[in-house]
């Protein structure tokens, strides 16, 4: 099985914490973009025949700014180009300020069966801090519409915000659970280079919680979600068993996925060789490349066996289920396993390696030790 990711790079505005390949544009030629995305779809289809599609994911940017007919054209073409799973998961990311009932219905009729919404907070003052263009009332309305229209829906929240206390987060998360479906994505605020927040944080305009409080917020999140029947299946993702994002599991389990659109990454097995692909990042440059040569790929790099093992480890350890040691044998410092297990950071059972709750709090440190 493989997955298909389609990137729509445009947003109404750039959020100050966002380091994704997203751009603000006053005008978008939707017909031209639809044609280019379909063209690149064909380019990758020529190289990836045989395996079924497990999932399609429209990410961004803000894919809910796409015209529903573009979404439908891409879904219909994907069905023609590849065999697809009977229970094909098709997800579209949406922001509350870019949709209404009619638009949601059009996406559902186009084939979207899972909606992922960028809510980020349930409070107006925090939405303003995060640079979001929607209000809390608009978020509640969008969640209600999604619940009525889509068989599966999820939304994101960002926590560990400046001055956030354990009690405040518990109250907000408890409220979120009254609105949630079977899945929630809960991310700690991180300050990424190249973002507006990076400049403002370095300038001292605000501070995020120190490590101890951040760890307590994470532990509280784990406890609340487990008690609500939606335990973590990945570091920042929580779901009732069986309702995990199948698309994202393809990434974390290191399966093949096709990346379509500007800046989109892919991991493909081509002629038995694991290969990394990447699209030209700039939207206009990508568009011109597709129109000139049939694709916007800027990089296609062979991933050697050692790199594959390291990538498998970095992705697989994010999962609660862990990873098979057989998949990373030779790519890690196996002599570190007894030490990390004794210190309570990992569990090794048979051929399975996974992080303990303590290990999940310091994932990056564990990875550094294992990859030395």
Can you give the pLDDT at residue 26?
83
> With 0-12 CB in 10 A as exposed, 13-18 as middle and 19+ as buried, what is 351?
exposed
Can you give the pLDDT at residue 142?
94
- pLDDT digits over 50-88, tens only? 889 999 999 999 999 999 999 999 999 999 999 999 999
Rounded distance between C-alpha atoms, residue 283 and residue 296, angstroms: 10
Rounded distance between C-alpha atoms, residue 235 and residue 160, angstroms: 15
Rounded distance between C-alpha atoms, residue 78 and residue 90, angstroms: 11
> For each successive 10 residues of the chain (372 residues), what is the average pLDDT?
96 93 92 98 92 95 95 98 96 88 94 97 97 95 95 97 97 98 97 96 96 95 97 97 97 96 96 95 97 94 90 93 86 81 90 91 89 78
Rounded distance between C-alpha atoms, residue 57 and residue 116, angstroms: 10
Contact 33, 287 (CB under 8 A): yes
Rounded distance between C-alpha atoms, residue 300 and residue 141, angstroms: 43
C-alpha distances in Å from residue 281, one per residue of 36, 93, 359: 15, 20, 34
Can you give the pLDDT at residue 97?
81
Name residue, tokens 């579209």. Answer: 92
Q: What end-to-end distance do the CA atoms of the chain give, in Å?
A: 32
Rounded distance between C-alpha atoms, residue 115 and residue 99, angstroms: 12
Can you give the pLDDT at residue 371?
84
Can you give the pLDDT at residue 171?
98
């Amino acid at each position: 099985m493989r997955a298909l990711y389609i990137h729509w790079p445009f947003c109404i505005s750039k959020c100050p914490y966002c380091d994704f390949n997203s751009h603000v544009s006053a005008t978008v030629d939707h017909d031209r973009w639809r044609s280019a995305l379909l063209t690149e779809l064909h380019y990758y289809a020529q190289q990836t025949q045989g395996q079924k599609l497990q999932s399609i994911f429209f990410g961004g940017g803000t894919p809910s700014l796409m015209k529903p007919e573009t979404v439908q054209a891409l879904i219909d073409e994907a069905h023609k180009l590849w065999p697809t799973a009977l229970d094909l998961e098709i997800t579209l990311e949406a922001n509350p300020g870019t949709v209404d009932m009619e638009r949601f219905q059009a996406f559902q009729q186009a084939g979207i069966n899972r909606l992922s919404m960028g809510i980020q907070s349930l409070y107006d003052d925090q939405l303003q801090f995060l640079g979001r263009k929607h209000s809390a009332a608009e978020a509640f309305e969008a969640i209600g519409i999604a619940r009525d229209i889509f068989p599966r829906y999820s939304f994101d929240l960002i926590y560990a915000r400046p001055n956030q206390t354990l009690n405040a987060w518990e109250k907000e998360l408890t409220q979120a659970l009254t609105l949630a479906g079977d899945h929630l994505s809960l991310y700690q605020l991180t300050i990424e280079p190249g973002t507006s927040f990076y400049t403002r944080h370095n300038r001292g305009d605000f501070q995020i919680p120190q490590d101890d409080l951040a760890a307590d917020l994470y532990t509280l999140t784990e406890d609340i979600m487990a008690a609500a029947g939606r335990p973590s299946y990945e570091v920042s993702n929580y779901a009732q068993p069986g309702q995990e994002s199948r698309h994202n599991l393809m990434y974390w389990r290191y399966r093949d996925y096709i990346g379509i659109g500007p800046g989109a990454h892919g991991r493909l097995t081509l002629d038995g060789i694991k290969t990394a692909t990447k699209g030209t990042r700039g939207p206009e440059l990508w568009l011109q490349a597709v129109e000139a040569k049939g694709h916007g790929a800027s990089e296609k790099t062979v991933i050697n066996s050692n790199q594959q093992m390291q990538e498998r480890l970095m992705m697989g350890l994010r999962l609660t289920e862990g990873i098979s040691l057989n998949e990373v044998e030779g790519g890690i410092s196996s002599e570190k396993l007894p030490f990390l297990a004794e210190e309570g950071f990992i569990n090794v059972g048979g051929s399975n390696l996974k992080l303990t709750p303590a290990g999940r709090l310091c994932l990056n440190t564990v990875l550094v030790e294992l990859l030395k």
